[in-house]
Structures are given as C-alpha cells and as structure tokens.
A and B are shown apart, each in its own frame.
Chain A
Amino acid sequence: MSELIPLIVAKYNYWLYIILMMIGLYAMIAKNNLVKKLVGMNIFQTSIILFYVSIGCKKGGTIPIIHHGIHAGRHVVDPAHYVNPLPHVLMLTAIVVSVSTLGVALALAVKIYNRYKTLEEDEILARLRAK
C-alpha cells in the first residue's frame, strides 16, 4: 500500500482527465439532443484544460505572481518556487475559444429550433426525410 500511493499520486491527475475526456466525447458522439452534445463538447474542452494545467503543476510551487527576491536591483527568482505560467496562458486562450464556440453553437441551435421546433437530432432527420 505504501508503495502504491506514490505511484497513484504521480499520475492520477492524468488518468482522471482521460475519464473526463471520455465522458465528454461520448456525450458528443452518442447523445441525441443538440444542446446535450454542446454540454459534452464543453466537458471535453475543460478536460483538455485540466490536462494542460496539470502539466504546469510543480510540487511546492505557488501562484506565478512574483512577490519577492529583489537583490541589489536585480530580481533573483527561483523558478522552482512558482508553477509554470505557460500552460495557464495557453488555457486562457482555450477557455475563450470554448466560450466562443459555445456562443455560435447555441445561436445555431436556436436557429434550428425555430425551423424544426425540436432539438432532437433523429426527429429533425425524420422531418427532413418526410419532406
């Protein structure tokens, strides 16, 4: 047991993000409702963000805002004290992309609902086939 815990601690974050990703991807592929698919899409995207943020983690690192370490006019900063800022930057962008996609997709969903009066994919396809 005592050997097992370090092994799990070393990687569990990556495993759990994969589970989240699988949930999201499954919802996107298998769900029938258009808005449900969107929720799946968002879960998928957040899971990727989780993955990136996990990359940036460092043991014993604090938030990347520099608050000490001025020596003789020069800032001496030990990178091990702060977590990696680059994945955070990338993920800010990814969050923005996900909310933009969500906006456009919801606009499309509203448009589709106005035309077909339903959000179920199979009902829409049945209606199209009936025409």
Chain B
Amino acid sequence: MKTAGIIIVLLAGALLLYATRDFPPWGALDSPASTHVSPRYLQKAMEETAVPNVVTAVLADYRGFDTMFETTVIFCAGIGCFILLRVFRQRPGDRYYRHIATEITLHIKGGRIPKKSSEFERIDALWTPYDLIIKTVCRILVPFIQLFALYVIAHGHHSPGGGFQGGVILGASVILLAISHNMRTAIDRFSEKTNNLLMAIGVFIYTGIGTVCILLGAGFLDYRSLSAVLFVDKIMARSHGIFGVEIGVGITVMAVMISIYNNLASAGKQDEGL
C-alpha cells in the first residue's frame, strides 16, 4: 500500500506541478480570475445589496443557492451522526449518584433507573471531581461567548463573520459548558428535542425565505421581492434578506455542532461524555 501510495501521490503532484507552468503569476492583477467575473461583485455589491462586506454579499445573495446547500450539507452531517450513533434503548448499566448534602457516592448496579430528585445528583461513571475554578470561569464566560456569537451573526454585513462563524461559536459555547461541567448539565439546558428541531428550523428558515420570494412573484432567493413585506426599498430588502438567511444558517450550524459533539462524545447514549 505504501509504495502504491507514493506512486499515486507523486503522479498527482507531478501533474499539478506541470500545470502551474501555465498559471498567471501569483497575485497578478490581470489574471483571468481577477478580471472576468469578480470585479463586478466588488464594484456593484455595495450598490445592489447595501452590504459592504463583499464576501457576505456574494455568499448569501449572488451565490446564495450554494450557501443553501452548504447549510444542507451541515444538516446532513447532523442527521447522519444522529442516525449512525444514537441508541435509544439502552440496557441499564452501572450508575453513580451522589448525595448532595453528605457527598456520599452511591453505586447502583443495573436494575431500575431512579427518578430525579433534588437530594441526589447523578455523576459520571468515569467520575472526576469537577474543578471549582474552571467551572466558575466557564459559567461566567458562556454568556459572553454567546453575546459575541450574536454580534458576529448580526455584524456580518460590515465585518468578517456571518451566520456560519457565529453559529459555530454559539455551538462552541454550549460545548464548552458540556466540557467544563458535564454533558447532563448541557443537555438539561439544551435538550435533544430542541436541538434537533432547531437543526431543521434553521435550514427551513433559509429555504422558506427563498420560497416566500417565489410566492411574492420573483425568482427563488430573489430578495428584492421582500420589499413588499418589509416596507423598505429593493436594495435594503436584499440586505434584510441576507440577514434573515444568516440567522437561519446560524441556528442550524449551532444545533448541528452541539448534536454532533453530544453524539460523538457520549457514543450515542447522551448521558455522559468528555
């Protein structure tokens, strides 16, 4: 396998290297890539969409259809991880509980699963006493991270960022909670059902905005027609349409990141993880 690998790799590399001979020099201003299609985006994006960040404008408007499928790919990954890993019926294994007042640890082998109570707290089998400093700092930090994520989503028009990055950061905040406390804490605040529903809702918002455009008489994802509903002119309608789409992307990405992490780290049981 190794020699075959080396041969294939060298062959591919040689082919690619051979082709670089014909490339325009790196960073040349007159290369076809920077003279044919892209100048129009730079020149017109501000006029046509009122979005200074050209990447956002191209991402969500000119090539918004690509981005819809990009979100769909993420959604597929979330559903795929769910369907591959999640196990619903689990055999009752060993469980550990702690009496909160006295800090006595109970070990229950198999059998029935005790109900939730305020006096006992369930703890992980691979139990490590969670550290006070890390717990406190992370709990303080999570709201700020979420605030930053919302800023990234909302400010994607003017600065780098947008739905995808903001969604990842939102998801990361919940993942941070799951890592610093334990997975049950995170799932209590953000249940699996909510998560899976949000996953679908986010992409649904994206596709739904596109479909609304059809219903209003323009083409799919042609945000100009939204001006009839939003009471703004056509250019601002594009800008608002981009914003709505970014929100949808953010919701889906957040939910998918959390879902993949939960399923991976708990091997589908969603009770205890990293």
Residues of A within 8 A of B (CB): 9-15, 18-19, 21-22, 25-26, 29-30, 54-59, 61, 63-67, 74-75, 77, 79-80, 82, 84-90, 92-93, 96-97, 99-101, 103-104, 106-108, 110-111, 114
Known interface pairs A89-B58, A103-B81, A110-B267; 4 further A-B residue pairs with C-beta atoms within 8 A, sorted by A's residue number: A30-B6, A92-B55, A97-B70, A101-B77
Select B37's contact among A12, A59, A86, beta carbons within 8 Å: A86
B33–A65 touching, CB < 8 Å: no
B39–A79 touching, CB < 8 Å: yes
Select B42's contact among A18, A30, A82, beta carbons within 8 Å: A82
Q: How far is the CA of A13 from the CA of B52 in the complex (A)?
A: 29
Q: Residues of B within 8 Å of A, CB-based: how many?
A: 60
A84–B33 touching, CB < 8 Å: yes
Please give me the residue from chain B that is nearest to A13 by CB atom. B26
Q: How far is the CA of A59 from the CA of B107 in the complex (A)?
A: 66
Q: Which residues of B144-196 have CB atoms within 8 Å of chain A's CB atoms?
A: 158-160, 164
Q: How far is the CA of A87 from the CA of B33 in the complex (A)?
A: 9
Confirm or deny: B99 has a beta carbon within 8 angstroms of a beta carbon on chain A: no
What are 8 pairs between A and B in contact, CB < 8 Å?
Answer: A18-B17, A22-B13, A30-B5, A65-B54, A79-B38, A89-B59, A89-B66, A110-B264
B23–A66 touching, CB < 8 Å: no
Confirm or deny: B263 has a beta carbon within 8 angstroms of a beta carbon on chain A: yes
Q: How far is the CA of A100 from the CA of B70 in the complex (A)?
A: 10
Confirm or deny: B67 has a beta carbon within 8 angstroms of a beta carbon on chain A: yes
A56–B33 touching, CB < 8 Å: yes
- The A interface, classified by DSSP as helix, strand, loop or mixed, is helix
Q: How far is the CA of A85 from the CA of B160 in the complex (A)?
A: 12
A79–B267 touching, CB < 8 Å: no
A110: B residues at CB distance < 8 A: 85, 264, 267
A106: B residues at CB distance < 8 A: 264
A103–B260 touching, CB < 8 Å: yes
B5–A85 touching, CB < 8 Å: no
A107–B55 touching, CB < 8 Å: no
B85: A residues at CB distance < 8 A: 107, 110-111
A86: B residues at CB distance < 8 A: 33, 37-38, 41, 58
Select B28's contact among A59, A79, A92, A104, beta carbons within 8 Å: A59
B230: A residues at CB distance < 8 A: none
- Shortest Cβ distance from B272 into chain A, in angstroms? 15
A75: B residues at CB distance < 8 A: 43, 46-47
Q: How far is the CA of A76 from the CA of B25 in the complex (A)?
A: 27
Residue of B42, B77, B85, B264 with most chain A CB atoms under a 10 A cut-off: B42
Q: How far is the CA of A106 from the CA of B66 in the complex (A)?
A: 25
A14–B54 touching, CB < 8 Å: no
Please give me the residue from chain A that is nearest to B78 by CB atom. A103
Encoded as 1 (CB less than 8 Å from any A CB) or 0, chain B from 52 to 92 comes to 11110011000100110011011011101100110000000
